[in-house]
Amino acid sequence: MLFLPDELAELLTIFSLDTYHTSGYNTGMYYILAFYMCIGVGELILIILVTALIVLLWSRRKK
C-alpha cells in the first residue's frame, strides 16, 4: 500500500473514478487544474516526474 498525501490520494480516486465512468478527458483536466491551484510548484514537479516514471514503466511492461 502506497502512503500518499490526502490531497493526492483524493485526486487519484476522483480521477480514476472519472475516467472509469466516462471518457472524461476534459473533466480529468479540470481536476488536475483545480489540484494544481492547491499545491506548490515543487510538489507539482515531483508529481509530474513520478507520473512520467509510472507511465514509462507501464508502457514497457505491456510490450
Identify the pLDDT of residue 36. 64
Output the average pLDDT for the chain: 68
Question: Quick one: residue 24, left, alpha or beta (phi over 0 = left, psi -120 to 50 = alpha)?
Answer: left
Residue 3: pLDDT band (50, 70, 90) is low
Number of domains in the chain: 1
In a domain, 1, yes or no: no
Q: Which domain holds residue 38?
A: 6-62
Q: Please write the tens of the pLDDT for every residue from 25-40.
A: 556 666 666 666 666 6
Residue recorded with cell 512520467: 52
In-domain check, residue 52? yes
Is 35 a domain residue? Answer: yes
For the segment 6-59, what is each residue's pLDDT rounded down to a tens digit?
Answer: 666 666 665 555 444 445 555 666 666 666 666 666 677 778 888 889 888 888
Residue 55 lies in a domain: yes
Contact 15, 31 (CB under 8 A): yes
Q: Does residue 24 belong to any structural domain of this protein?
A: yes
